Structure 1
C-alpha cells in the first residue's frame, strides 16, 4: 500500500487565509477520490499542525482546530516531519501556500532539505516567478510581450511617464497594488505601505487593457487551459483586486476564485486565444515553472495586442476551475503529486572534496588583515 499524500496550507503570507481555503478544498477533492491525505496547517506563529480530516474554514478563526497534533519539522539528523517523535510517511506534499515564502521558492527549498517530494517549482524558478522585476526582465529578454516594468527608486525616475501602477516587487498579484499619477506619489505610497517597503516596481497604467487568465500544467505533458476573463466587481477601482478575486462570492460561497465572477471561456477572437496559449507555453519553457500554474495576461481589445503580466506558481484554488472542462479536479491534483514524487531534481554534490582548500587556507586570522576599516 502506498504512503498517503499530504496537503500543506497556511504559511507566512498576507494570503494566509486564501491558502487555508485552497488547502481545505484540495484535501476534500483528493479524499473524495479515494486518496489518503494528511492535512498539515502552517500557523501564523510558525507552528505546524496535523489537523483532523474534513475541517472547515470557520475552524481556523480562533486558532488551530481542536484535535490537531503538533508537527516537528526536522532539517538535520533524521530529517522529515514528525508527530510525537514518529516520522510521517508521506509520498509527496501538495503545496497550497500562496504568496510569500511558500510560493516564492522557500517551501521548495525546505522540502528539498527535508527529503520529501513537494509539488510546484524549484526554489530557483519559484523565486523568479515571485520577483516581479526579475520576471518582467526575463520576459523582455525572451521576447515575450510584457508591459515595461522598472524598479521604483529614490534616486532614478522611471523611463516612461505616469500614471503608474505601483506593485510590491516581491509579492502576490493582488495585495499592495496602487494607481498613482506621478513618481512622487509612487514614492510616497511605497514608503507608507508595509507591502512595498521591501521593494516596489512601477508599470504604465493602461486602463483600457482587459484582464485574462490562462493555466498550464507540466504533467503528464505540458497542457494549457482555455482563456478566462475575470470580471471586476468594482470597475471604478481600475484594478482586478483581492476583493474581486477572493471575496466577491459572498458568505457561504465556494472557495475564493472558484466562485468569483468570470467569463469562461472568454469571448475573444480565435487569434487571441491561440496567441494566449502560445504565450503560456513560452512562459513555461522560459521560467522552468512546473506543476499547476496560472499566467495573468492583459489584452488591448482595440488591436488584439496581448501582454504577459504575471505568473502564479501556486494559484488560488489551484486553478481547478480552469481545468474543469478538460480534467476532473482530482486528476489535476494527483498528476501534480505524481510529478513531484517521481521528479528527480539534479543538485550539485555537497560535502568535502579533497580538503585541498582547507589545508591551503592557513590561519583564519591572516584572512582578516586589512578588514578593520580605515585608520585615522
Structure 2
C-alpha cells in the first residue's frame, strides 16, 4: 500500500510564492511508486485547497483562478483524525466527505504562520506524523533574537546584537539609537526578527540610515534586531538532515551576493529562472574553503541543529570574517528554500532520496512520541473526598 503524503505550501507569508516553488520541486521529486502525494495549498487568506491544478506552476499566474479550480478542504483539530475533508458539499452529498486519509505531512511553508511553529502546533494537536521541526524548535529557529540567545548560551558563536520591539522604538528611539551606537557602532544590519528570505533587511552606516531601516523593518515584525556588520564578509551555507540526536551535514556552499548581503533577488531570482527557487541563485558548490574551515562550518551547523532540537532538513547560514577568519552562525532556516536539495545532491543524496528520508524521519519521531506518557489512567474526580481548586484554596466537596 502506498503512503499518503500531504505536502502543505503557500500560506499567509511574504514568502508565499517561494513556498509554492519549493513545494512543487519537492512533489516532483517523490517516488510515485511508493507515495501518493496530496498537494494542499494554503491561500494568502489562509484557506486550504487541494487538486491536480495546483501541481502546475503556470496556474499560479492567476491566483484567483487557481483557487476557483481547486477543492477547498480542512482538517479537524482532533487528536488522531488524519482525514482531509471537503468544505463544500452538494445538497444530496454526505456532509464533509473525506478527500483522503493522510499518513504523513511534509510542511513546505516558508516564513510566518508556517515555519514559526504556528502550523506545527496544529499538526501536533492532531498528532499526525510530520517531517520538520516541532512547535518549539520552529519558533526558536524562526525568531532571530531567541535563536541567538540560545546559541550564545550553548557556546555557538554569534555576532553582537541589540534587540527591541516596535513599541519600544516608538517610545524610546533615542535610547535605542544610543545603545546601538555604543555597543555596535556602524555599520550595522537591521532585520525583522522573524522573517526569512532577506525580507525587510537593510544596512545602516549612520544614524539617519539606522532610523530609515528600522522604520522599514518594523512594518514586517513586532521585534527588531540590529547586528554588528562584518565588512569583510564571506557567507557560507550548510544543510543538516536528521534529528537532534542523529544528523549529518552537507557540503558547504558559497552564495554569490550582488551587494553587502544576500538579497531576496540574489536568493530567488537568478537570471530569468524565476521558477527555480533557491536552486536558481548563483553559488559555488562546494564552497572554495580550506578543508579544515569547511569541516568546522559543518560541525557548527550540526551543533546549531542539535541545540535548537531541530528535525528534518534545515539550512544553517554562517558568516566568515575574512579579516581574522572568525566564524559566526547567522541564522537557521528550518524549512529552507528548495529544501536545500541541491546541497544534498552535491553530498551524494538525490532529491528523491531526501524526500524518502523526510518521510521516514516523520514516522520515526511519531513512534518515539507514542512511547511517552501524556495522561494517567486514573480519574481524580472519581476518588471522592475534597478536591481543591474548583472553589479556591478551600476546595469543594464531591
Structure-1-length-normalised TM-score: 0.88
Residue 53 of structure 1: how far off its partner (Å):
6.3
Q: CA RMSD in A?
A: 2.8
Say which is worse superposed, 150-159 or 240-249, in terms of deviation.
150-159
- CA distance in 2 between counterparts of 1:332 and 1:195 reads 36
- CA distance in 2 between counterparts of 1:32 and 1:76 reads 29
- CA distance in 1 between counterparts of 2:55 and 2:72 reads 16
**Could you tell me whether the CA contact under 8 Å between 2:145 and 2:225 is conserved in 1?**
yes
Residue 305 of structure 1: how far off its partner (Å):
1.7
Structural mapping, 1:162-173, within 5 Å: 162-173=186-197
Figure out how many residues of one structure are paired with residues of the other and give that number: 363
Residue 150 (1) aligns with residue 162 (2): yes
Which one has a larger percent strand, Structure 1 or Structure 2? 2
For residues 9-65 of structure 1, what are the alpha-carbon distances to aligned partners after superposition, in whole Å with 9 as ceiling and x for unaligned?
A: 101111000000011111111156653211110111111011216722221222225
Query: Match for residue 374 of structure 2?
Result: 349
Q: Give structure 2 stretches of 5+ with no counterpart.
A: 87-95
Match of 2:252, SS state, is coil
**Could you tell me whether the CA contact under 8 Å between 2:137 and 2:310 is conserved in 1?**
yes
Structural mapping, 1:1-376, within 5 Å: 1-31=1-31, 35-52=35-52, 55-63=55-63, 64=66, 67-76=69-78, 79-80=81-82, 81-83=84-86, 84-86=96-98, 88-152=100-164, 153=168, 154=172, 155-156=175-176, 157-158=179-180, 159-182=183-206, 185-193=209-217, 195-218=219-242, 221-232=246-257, 234-235=258-259, 238-251=260-273, 255-325=276-346, 326-343=348-365, 344-345=368-369, 349=374, 354-355=380-381, 359-363=387-391
- CA distance in 1 between counterparts of 2:201 and 2:152 reads 22
- CA distance in 1 between counterparts of 2:209 and 2:275 reads 38
For residues 106-128 of structure 1, what are the alpha-carbon distances to aligned partners after superposition, in whole Å with 9 as ceiling and x for unaligned?
A: 12111111222111011001111
**Could you tell me whether the CA contact under 8 Å between 2:79 and 2:127 is conserved in 1?**
no
Match of 1:228, SS state, is strand
The structure-2 alpha-carbon separation of the partners of 1:193 and 1:203, relative to structure 1 and needing over 3 Å to count, comes to closer
Say which is worse superposed, 318-327 or 79-88, in terms of deviation.
79-88
**Could you tell me whether the CA contact under 8 Å between 1:31 and 1:37 is conserved in 2?**
no
For residues 328-368 of structure 1, what are the alpha-carbon distances to aligned partners after superposition, in whole Å with 9 as ceiling and x for unaligned?
A: 1011111111111221337773699625999423548x9xx
For residues 200-234 of structure 1, what are the alpha-carbon distances to aligned partners after superposition, in whole Å with 9 as ceiling and x for unaligned?
A: 001012221111100110169411111100011x2
- CA distance in 2 between counterparts of 1:104 and 1:358 reads 43
- CA distance in 2 between counterparts of 1:200 and 1:181 reads 17
- Which stretches of structure 1, 4 residues or longer, exceed 6 Å deviation after superposition? none
For residues 258-306 of structure 1, what are the alpha-carbon distances to aligned partners after superposition, in whole Å with 9 as ceiling and x for unaligned?
A: 1211111011111210111110121122111110010001112343221
For residues 121-169 of structure 1, what are the alpha-carbon distances to aligned partners after superposition, in whole Å with 9 as ceiling and x for unaligned?
A: 1100111101111111111111111111220353442322122100011
Structure-2-length-normalised TM-score: 0.83
Say which is worse superposed, 162-171 or 299-308, in terms of deviation.
299-308
Match of 1:218, SS state, is strand
**Could you tell me whether the CA contact under 8 Å between 2:3 and 2:35 is conserved in 1?**
no
Q: Give structure 1 stretches of 5+ with no counterpart.
A: 367-376
Residue 185 of structure 1: how far off its partner (Å):
4.2
Say which is worse superposed, 143-152 or 16-25, in terms of deviation.
143-152
The structure-2 alpha-carbon separation of the partners of 1:293 and 1:273, relative to structure 1 and needing over 3 Å to count, comes to same
**Could you tell me whether the CA contact under 8 Å between 2:201 and 2:213 is conserved in 1?**
no
**Could you tell me whether the CA contact under 8 Å between 1:216 and 1:222 is conserved in 2?**
yes
